[in-house]
Amino acid sequence: MTLGEDTQWLITYFPVAWTGHICQGLAMGIFGPTQPYLAQKVGVASQQINFIWTLRAFGSCFATVITGLVFKAYIKERSHKLAFLAVCVFLTGFFIGLVPWTSSFELLLTTVLLAGIFIGSLDTASNSLVLYMLGPDRSRPYTQSLHAFVGMGFVLGSLIVRPFLPETEDNSSVCNQEKAQSYSNVTLDVASEVDDVKIEDLNPAIGVPDLAWPFLIIATVHLLTALGYLCLILGGLPMPRFYETVSQDDTGISMPWTKKEKKTKHPKITLFLAFFYFAFSCGLEGFFQSQTFTFGICGPHKMEPGKAAALTTVYFSSFLAGRFSGVLLSTKLKPHTMILTSLLCCILSALLLVFTAASQQDMLFVGTGSVGFFVSLQFASGYSWLAEHVDLTGRGSSVVFVGANFGWLVFPPLAGLVFFSSIGPMGLYYLTLGLATAHLLLFAVMIKVSSIKC
């Protein structure tokens, strides 16, 4: 298949793939603005509800390892690969749709865990498939585009949930750790009794919002996207297979866009360091996705939920802008240049938040948006950079996504612990500064190790 022959496949496959990654962003982003109210619903403290991020990430870690082992080696037919993606999208939506009906913290964690398994499978398989189809050089803007549409899902999720949030400025019911415990087993859309008091008799300021609809909307989008993958199967267009083609180089077949570059002499060390690179990057994302809304309503500014949701939207919108900028920038700049710029700017943004977030709302919005923009460049650029040095079409890809989900597993609960500790809400930005600095030092070591060629 030549450079022009795969055009028809690309213009039909990528709209569906982009929608699949919008679904991924919706499924992940919905929990940021809703987690204080989910905590209130199942009767746990806001500090504890952060474990939904841990369970989702744990499920994704498990799925990433399994997907990395089987997707390239055993799922070889075009129709089988597309069916795998369709099933992942459908089941993610199914379990996300069940979240509003969970009646206990344990059941909520189980549902989120199962959703995380299929989110991780989709993410790993979809990114690996793009690299498998197009190779490390040609795939760069396409990989960036997948992650750009995850950012779009984040933004859309924050907009979908906003109409269903309470309009009150009294956030004591979700910020007070002791009071949160008293709302055990309150349903999202049906009145129930709490300590012999009916929810409709409570002050509206401490009522639980009806969050069923945003979860159901997101589940429906997942279902439609799964049908899109099935339509691709029925379409029967041939799929490009870069790595199967270049493996035939000894027969004289070559790809005109392929650059033969030496890989690193130390792939195992590079992959080991890459695990922490993606853990730190997604850990920083986890800080802001899990705590930005909570910082707004429970932090020094005590924002009303609508304004806190706007702060979340600023973060996600900036994240989206960064991801789409990355698509263009990846055609002009080397991945390591984009990564270094991103890391340095994240440090500067964290410093801005450390010194101004507690006293100036405008600077809080600016700093939050700045972090969102620059952190968004790190994942896809890191994936493209790593693909230049090691093979990521098989088991190597699992290192990326296990590392990423390890960051989601560890850092949101850590942020929650610090947020509600004696350090207070500003501890979120102290952690951001420390993590961004460690991330820069780590990548400097990775550059040095990878520069040693075979």
Comparing 107-111, 308-312, 429-433, the range with the smallest average pLDDT is 308-312
The C-alpha atoms of residue 86 and residue 81 are separated, in whole angstroms, by 9
Q: Which two tokens stand for residue 17?
A: 């793939």
Highest mean pLDDT among 51-60, 360-369, 373-382: 360-369
What SS3 state is found at 251?
A: helix
pLDDT score recorded for residue 89: 96
- pLDDT, greater one: 392 or 59: 59
Comparing 130-139, 149-158, 224-233, the range with the smallest average pLDDT is 130-139
- pLDDT, greater one: 355 or 264: 355
Tell me how crowded residue 346 is: count the other CB atoms within 10 A of its CB.
26
The C-alpha atoms of residue 21 and residue 131 are separated, in whole angstroms, by 16
Distance of CA 368 to CAs 190, 295, 316, 325, 441, Å?
36, 11, 9, 18, 23
Comparing 112-126, 191-205, 316-330, the range with the smallest average pLDDT is 191-205
DSSP 143-188: HHHHHHHHHHHHHHHHHHHGGGS---S--HHHH-HHHHGGGTT--S
Comparing 133-142, 176-185, 321-330, 371-380, the range with the smallest average pLDDT is 176-185
Task: Write out pLDDT tens, residues 302-333.
Answer: 898 888 888 998 998 999 899 888 888 888 88
Where b means 16+ CB within 10 Å and e means fewer, 166-196 reads bebebbebbbeeeebeebbebebeeeeeeee
The C-alpha atoms of residue 397 and residue 402 are separated, in whole angstroms, by 9
pLDDT tier for residue 244 given thresholds of 50, 70 and 90? low
Q: How many C-alpha atoms does 201 have within 13 Å on its Cβ side?
A: 7
pLDDT score recorded for residue 350: 96
CA angle 199, 93, 315 (to 5 degrees): 75
The C-alpha atoms of residue 435 and residue 417 are separated, in whole angstroms, by 16
Comparing 167-181, 252-266, 379-393, the range with the smallest average pLDDT is 252-266
Given a cut of 50, whether residue 186 has pLDDT beyond it is no
pLDDT score recorded for residue 290: 83
In the predicted model, what is the mean pLDDT of residues 202-212?
50
- The burial class, CB within 10 Å (0-12 / 13-18 / 19+), for 73 is exposed
Beta bridge partners of 194: 197
- pLDDT, greater one: 158 or 208: 158
pLDDT score recorded for residue 263: 62
pLDDT tier for residue 228 given thresholds of 50, 70 and 90? very high
pLDDT tier for residue 199 given thresholds of 50, 70 and 90? very low
Q: Which of 179, 213, 222, 212 is nearest to 197 (CA)?
A: 179
- pLDDT, greater one: 234 or 393: 234
Given a cut of 80, whether residue 22 has pLDDT beyond it is yes
Average pLDDT over all residues of the chain: 82
- pLDDT, greater one: 447 or 260: 447
Given a cut of 70, whether residue 4 has pLDDT beyond it is no
pLDDT tier for residue 261 given thresholds of 50, 70 and 90? low
Q: In 71-164, which residue ranges form alpha helices assigned H by DSSP?
A: 78-98, 105-138, 140-161
The C-alpha atoms of residue 70 and residue 16 are separated, in whole angstroms, by 22
Phi (first) and psi of residue 293, to 5 degrees: -65, -45
Name the strand (E) or helix (H) holding 198: strand 197-198
Comparing 179-193, 241-255, 383-397, the range with the smallest average pLDDT is 179-193
- The burial class, CB within 10 Å (0-12 / 13-18 / 19+), for 148 is buried
Highest mean pLDDT among 178-187, 274-283, 444-453: 274-283
In the predicted model, what is the mean pLDDT of residues 209-215?
80
The C-alpha atoms of residue 371 and residue 343 are separated, in whole angstroms, by 10
The owner of tokens 């990548």 is 443
pLDDT score recorded for residue 264: 62
